[in-house]
Structures are given as structure tokens and as C-alpha cells.
Chain A
Amino acid sequence: MLVLSRQRDESIMIGDNIVITIVDIRGDKVRLGINAPAEIPVHRQEVYEAIQRENLRASRLEPKDTRQLGKPKE
């Protein structure tokens, strides 16, 4: 992993068009500003990981498990 030291208000570039700026540092918390093109989604990693886990769990569902789903109210 590439490790870079940065101070407040300094940035790094990823490729030509993603800029990550250190906005604030307080104790063990760092606030990042992210400038990326509209087609690049940006999310916290733990959100991605939770969705991955949920997808894997959902993929173990069998048709018989869905019987308790019932039909929606029309």
C-alpha cells in the first residue's frame, strides 16, 4: 500500500480527476473532502462490506424460505 503524509488542506490526486483533500484533523478523526467525477460513487467502506455480507446471506435463501413472505396487500 502506498502511504503518503499530508497536512491539513493538502490533497492527493488519484488519476486525473479524483482529488482527496485533508479538510480537518482532530485527535484520531480525519475529515476528508472528495472531488470525483459524477460517475464514480463514493461510500464509506463499512457500508460496502455490510451490503456484501447481506447479499451473501440473501443468496442462501431457497424458494421454500420465501413461503412465509406471503402476498402483498393489493
Chain B
Amino acid sequence: MQIRTTRFGSLELEPSDTIHFPNGLLGFEDCRQWVLLADAGNSALGWLQSTTRPEVALAVVSPRRFVPHYQFKVYRSELAVLELEQVRDAQVLAIVGKNERSITLNLKAPVVINLRCQLGRQVVANGDLPLQHELTTASSTLKKSA
């Protein structure tokens, strides 16, 4: 199948590449089918691209690569639609955003994907976690120390 995207042009996909989000994502409830693309320039970065809306794509990273001590708890109900048999089938991704100061990671509502079944859901983690965790980039660290 072929999909159109505004950022990456036309893409040829296998049906098995698509990840089904039974509830969509918050704010994108109509987007049920997504595909995870690798970023051309940064191996740590992926793009969750809607297969039905060309302009809708979210940059995602594995949060622990940037926030090593990150962990979260969710109610069992949050994971029910993922049909997870074992926790190691789950891939956790944090959505990348940007505010006036910094690139940010959404640690409050990570995306969890069951790799075995290609099922995904954005879960709401319990407790006090930031929607915009600011990442101090290498260049800003240099500026501070200069």
C-alpha cells in the first residue's frame, strides 16, 4: 500500500508495517492507523506517521535514552487494549515536542506499542510527570559552561 505524507513524500508500506491504535491518539482520535518511520538523520529518532492524514506525524524517541531513570506506572485499564502477554513485548516511546526554550519529551503520556500484535495506545501515566520535559541539548550545555 502507498501512503502520502507531507514531511516524507510518498511511502510504500507493507500492511504489516501499520500499527493499529484502537483509540487513536488524544487530539487525533480519528487516526487509528499509524506507521513508525526511522529518521534519516538521527538513529535515536522515529516518526509516528498517520497513514490516513498526510500532515499528521509525531517525532518519538525511546525515553530512557534521554532520561535514563524514567519510569512510570499506569492503571491496568490503560494497557488492556494492547493485549500484552508479557511486558517485554511492549515498546515505550515518548512524543517529542518543542517549547520556546527547548526540545521537550512528553513523559506524562507515553505511547506504548505491543510489537507482537502491532497494537498501540497513548497511555496516561499516574502521578506527577511532565508533559514537557525539557532536554538540555549538547549545544546549550556548552553555552552555559562558556
Q: Does B84 contact A (CB under 8 A)?
A: no
Given A41-B124, A61-B98, A70-B137: A55 touches B42 (CB 8 Å cut-off): no
Given A54-B131, A55-B26: A66 touches B96 (CB 8 Å cut-off): yes
Q: Does A3 contact B (CB under 8 A)?
A: no
The reply to whether A41 and B75 form a contact with Cβ atoms under 8 Å apart is yes
Within 8 Å CB of B78, what residues of A? 41
Given A51-B124, A66-B96: A59 touches B80 (CB 8 Å cut-off): no
The reply to whether A59 and B57 form a contact with Cβ atoms under 8 Å apart is yes
Measured CA separation A50–B97 after assembly (Å): 13
Within 8 Å CB of A66, what residues of B? 39, 42, 45, 59, 96, 103
Interface of B: prevailing SS: mixed
Given A38-B76, A54-B106: A70 touches B138 (CB 8 Å cut-off): yes
Residue from A36, A39, A42, A53 in contact with B27 in the complex, judged by beta carbons closer than 8 Å? A53
Measured CA separation A63–B138 after assembly (Å): 18
In the assembled complex, the CB of A56 is this many whole angstroms from the nearest CB of chain B, namely 5
Task: Write the chain A residue with the least CB distance to B50.
Answer: A59
**Residue contacts A-B, CB under 8 angstroms, 5 given:** A38-B75, A57-B97, A58-B58, A70-B137, A70-B139
B interface residues with partner A (beta carbon < 8 Å): 7, 25-28, 39-45, 47, 55-59, 61, 65-66, 75-78, 80-81, 95-98, 103, 106, 108-109, 122, 124, 131-132, 135, 137-139
A interface residues with partner B (beta carbon < 8 Å): 36-43, 47-48, 50-59, 61-63, 65-72
